[in-house]
Amino acid sequence: MAASPVLSFHNLSIKEINRHKLFATIYRNPNLPKLRLSQLLDMSLSTIDSNVKRLLSEGLIVPSGTLESTGGRKATGYTINARHKSAIGVFIRAQSAIICAVDLNGDQIASQEVALPYSQESSYLERLSTEVSAFIGNHTELYSGSILGISLAIQGIVTIDEDDSRVSYGKILDNQQLTLSAIQKHFKLPCTLHHDSKAAAFAALWEHPKLENAALVLLNDNVGGALIFNNTVHYGNAFQGGLIEHLTVDHQGRQCYCGDYDCLECYCSKRALEQEAKLPLTDFFTKLHEPECPEALQQLWQSYLEHLSIAIRQVHKMIDGTIILTGAMAPYLTVGDLTELVALSNEHNAFSLTQSTAVPVAHSPSSAGPHETQVGDLLLSVNGDSIVALGAARYLINAYLECFEANPISDPKCNLGTITLNLPEDKN
């Protein structure tokens, strides 16, 4: 699929470059008055003034109120207009789809889960398209003209290509060979397709932009994994990087859907735990925290933590960084579980994870989400299932900001080279 007709710095006039630089500076440094912007950008006050007027008239920025000034007269600051553009993220799951919309800060505007069993039939994509249209229609704050596109994330390895992205491995949903071009036929807005766990890693990176090296373990119905190296999501040569779920953690002979035996998936997925406990997840954790909890359930949970710690120990040796635990099971994990995981991972381990008492972690200022907890190198992100849809949508926001060189994340695969955006104003 052809990339967006984007505004590259290479073919812009000086005027346009100044305007783009000003937008990027306001995005990164909200609430500054014109004088400070002129100092930061080394532009004359009259250049700043005319560009501010233009950005205001285009709806890209808004005044952010009157600032206190030492010199008597009060100056007005500016912020970006976060609702100038939005993006839709969709997490396709076996039985439902989570649809969300985010603004230019990557913050969630709205979210909804719709019951929609996945199937390979084209009628599924037709129904999904109808649900997304209904979601957009139900939220009057979303104007289809300002929506950058629909970003879908799915279980399965997605090979991203300029011509056509596709699921190159999809045993769980049996979605092998699902292509972006097949999806696009059912949507008017441009679509992109992503691997769910990499979208989750992108979401985590957005919330922790200074994260250098990290691994993410997505504890959903199935386990997912992704790596962050040097502040970017790692894809690997064939998009198979970071498959933490297929690390061997035991020798009991349990066969994984991948064909191998004793993968982390067989012991630490939500599905595996529910099957062993013969209880739905919520009931399992309710019983686990009761004073009269049966010993079998306590042992099951201990065994779960031991298996997870084996994967954490292996991954930590590779990345030497933060291990992020997230997904549907994350909200049920306690500080005690995190402390236990660190202790288990550090047994007979010369290259141990750092240990510390639990601290709540503040998100980046623009991100309003649930709190996180950090115990040493372990970070528990309780976004739950919604992290995948959020990450998918943020790929589009990041690509749009790339037009202004204001993108918070530099992604080697999901960028303006591979993502098409709905930018009607730039097509003429």
Nearer to Zn ion, 99 or 266 (CB): 266
Nearer to Zn ion, 217 or 256 (CB): 256
Residue 265 beta carbon to Zn ion: minimum distance, rounded to whole angstroms = 5
Tokens of 46: 């009259």
DSSP 424: G
C-alpha distances out from residue 123 to 127, 128, 224, 289, Å: 6, 9, 27, 44
Residues 183, 408: Cα–Cα separation, whole Å: 28
Kindly provide the b/e burial profile for residues 74-113, where b requires at least 16 CB atoms within 10 angstroms of the residue's own CB: eeebbbbbbbbbbbbbbbbbeeebbbbbbbbbbbbbbbbb
Nearer to Zn ion, 259 or 424 (CB): 259
What type of residue is 50? Answer: S
DSSP 347: T
Nearer to Zn ion, 236 or 370 (CB): 236
Site for Zn ion in 167-206 (CB under 5 A): none
Tokens of 59: 């709806």
Does residue 149 contact residue 190 with C-beta atoms inside 8 Å? yes
Burial of 282 (0-12, 13-18, 19+ CB in 10 A): exposed
- Position 316 contacts Zn ion (CB under 5 A): no
Under DSSP, is residue 22 helix (H, G, I), strand (E, B) or coil?
Answer: helix
- Position 256 contacts Zn ion (CB under 5 A): yes
Interface region with Zn ion, contact rule CB under 5 A, candidates 252-260, 275-283, 313-321, 411-419: 252-260
Nearer to Zn ion, 143 or 257 (CB): 257
- Interface with Zn ion: number of residues (CB under 5 A): 5
Which of 126, 141, 260, 283 forms a contact with Zn ion (CB under 5 A)?
260
Nearer to Zn ion, 135 or 267 (CB): 267
Binding mask 212-251 for Zn ion (x = CB under 5 A): ----------------------------------x-----
Residue 321 beta carbon to Zn ion: minimum distance, rounded to whole angstroms = 24
- Position 258 contacts Zn ion (CB under 5 A): yes
Question: In degrees rounded to 5, what are phi and psi of residue 155?
Answer: -65, 130
Nearer to Zn ion, 246 or 413 (CB): 246
Residue 246 beta carbon to Zn ion: minimum distance, rounded to whole angstroms = 4
**DSSP line for 273-306:** HHHHHTS-HHHHHHHHTSTT--HHHHHHHHHHHH
Tokens of 168: 């190159």
Interface region with Zn ion, contact rule CB under 5 A, candidates 23-31, 79-87, 210-218, 257-265: 257-265
- Position 109 contacts Zn ion (CB under 5 A): no
Residue 294 beta carbon to Zn ion: minimum distance, rounded to whole angstroms = 30
- Cβ neighbours for 107, distance < 8 A, ≥ 6 positions apart: 82, 366, 367, 368
Nearer to Zn ion, 19 or 246 (CB): 246
Point out which residues pair with 30 in neighbouring strands. Answer: none
Interface region with Zn ion, contact rule CB under 5 A, candidates 43-51, 255-263, 307-315, 412-420: 255-263
Tokens of 140: 């009057």
Residue 159 beta carbon to Zn ion: minimum distance, rounded to whole angstroms = 19
What type of residue is 251? Answer: H
Which of 263, 308, 419, 421 forms a contact with Zn ion (CB under 5 A)?
263
Residue 266 beta carbon to Zn ion: minimum distance, rounded to whole angstroms = 7
- Position 393 contacts Zn ion (CB under 5 A): no
Residue 256 beta carbon to Zn ion: minimum distance, rounded to whole angstroms = 3
Binding mask 266-305 for Zn ion (x = CB under 5 A): ----------------------------------------
Residue 258 beta carbon to Zn ion: minimum distance, rounded to whole angstroms = 3
Strand ranges inside 213-329, DSSP E: 214-219, 223-229, 232-234, 322-326
Residue 171 beta carbon to Zn ion: minimum distance, rounded to whole angstroms = 9
Nearer to Zn ion, 260 or 347 (CB): 260
C-alpha distances out from residue 382 to 174, 341, 374, 378, Å: 28, 17, 11, 13
Nearer to Zn ion, 315 or 338 (CB): 315
Nearer to Zn ion, 109 or 258 (CB): 258
What type of residue is 349? Answer: N
Tokens of 228: 């962050």
Interface region with Zn ion, contact rule CB under 5 A, candidates 14-22, 105-113, 199-207, 262-270: 262-270
Positions touching Zn ion (CB under 5 A) are 246, 256, 258, 260, 263
